[in-house]
Structure 1
């Protein structure tokens, strides 16, 4: 876990629920394949330090098939092609920013390093078994992480993107002060529900308009960093994830 998030959440790791969660995960790993890999469970915390967060994109469960989950909600690493939910995110970006060219890959790391926190409610899952780690304790930790952001004063307000009813319930549960923060609600990005209100929601421009009003132009998110006609001038993602496992932060899952 990245140092800034570790310091903010330190007290959580001593609570009974987290001790129970660690034991559960240790037993699961003896029997099953677990996604994402252990070194990527907290990649969200290393890519998006606490102080850099300007937008939060809430997810529910990590992808549960081979070569998908790597610790960021909605994101997959090459060579995995973008899942349907992510394709709809690209489609909405294209509708709001016509110059945006949807990429053929699904890696959202460039946005994560730009201040967009892609956080799932549950941080692990058993291979090919959706929601298999839901209700095991992760939700308490990620709720605590979100409360760190929700407790910020208005001068450091953030945008919460709550797509789908589960994400919206999280916003209600943590008690986000909507005079200090912006909450954008719509249907989920899933192909089953995107046409019920996600597509056409205008959330990406709305986020930047709010951020600019609060923080100036430098506070906006460059959503176009994902565009296929742009080059991300940083080290390759594969090298990043190989180099920034547990040694890149604090290993809180080890015994």
Structure 2
């Protein structure tokens, strides 16, 4: 479990995307005045890598984290955004608000298949320099310091002396399959911020139409960037989160 910020501050739980890790959410603590709890999800980072990797298992794991906290603001990026919605649907009493960063809810089977294929062909690197060059090519819009932190926190050397990112390829592939399940919507009682990167087309119109039909309390904000919204445009993302939390009565601690 990654934890950031003042232990006395209001809690915010943050859920990472496929192939990610909880350490990416450190900026939220200071910017939002929160005690951030950011687990490595099963099959990722320093958490156990054993199956099952179903949405139901992940929801159970998140609810275990929430059980030790008062009702929280629940944030998530990509898969983590979808997982946050599924968790709130299971037990809305544990969630004060949802902050969804380009949530990958109900993605197409074609997109899920491509993601799964990419996940099982996990790259490996002979040196840290080789890994850094690869990440720079994959994340061209992400600042150098953020990429360096990713290498430092999320890369491990295996028994074969090669470096790989800390996730189990089979787990990541299975998660992509789970993301192609039919969309669920946030509980109408839970205020929800959806931050969308329109050029990526991860947030599907079908999901937004379902939210409207179900009477969900959704605020949609577009930011012109790639899918890694928090890494590429941290100032804009965090400003929108602060505005939303203030509006829904979950203002940061002074």
Q: Is the shorter-chain TM-score for this pair beyond 0.5, marking a shared fold?
A: no
Q: Which has the higher contact order (CA 8 A, sep 6+)?
A: 1
TM-score, reference length from structure 2: 0.36
